[in-house]
């Protein structure tokens, strides 16, 4: 039986399989990227593939606090596109 690691969504605080979440990573040079393969090095945070969770995270500022960096507005639009693509 394969072990599936679980992570907690920043928006709804529910624990889910890692593969079911979107990983956002702060790289060592201070950039912020969506880690589609979930293998990049750097500080990471996980979000549900749900528009309501993304809106909650944006409003609360939880992603910026988790990654310890300011989050550009373009990242949230990229995340919404990622969610829409999965639907």
How far lies 53's CA from each of 27, 29, 80, in Å? Answer: 23, 27, 10
Instruction: Give 1's DSSP letter.
Output: -
Homologous superfamily of domain range 6-86:
YlxR-like (3.30.1230.10)
- The CA distance from 43 to 67, in Å, is 6
pTM, two decimals, is 0.91
As a whole number, the mean pLDDT across the chain is 93
Burial class of residue 78, CB neighbours in 10 A (0-12, 13-18, 19+)? middle
pLDDT in tens, 41-62: 999 999 999 999 999 999 999 9
For the chain, the domains span 6-86
């Amino acid at each position: 039986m394969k072990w599936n690691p679980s992570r907690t969504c920043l928006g709804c605080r529910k624990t889910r399989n890692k593969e079911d979440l979107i990983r956002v990573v702060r790289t060592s040079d201070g950039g912020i990227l969506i880690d589609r393969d979930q293998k990049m090095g750097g500080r990471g945070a996980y979000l549900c593939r749900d528009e309501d969770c993304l809106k909650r995270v944006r409003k609360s500022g939880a992603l910026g606090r988790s990654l310890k960096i300011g989050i550009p507005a373009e990242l949230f639009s990229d995340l919404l596109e990622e969610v829409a693509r999965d639907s």
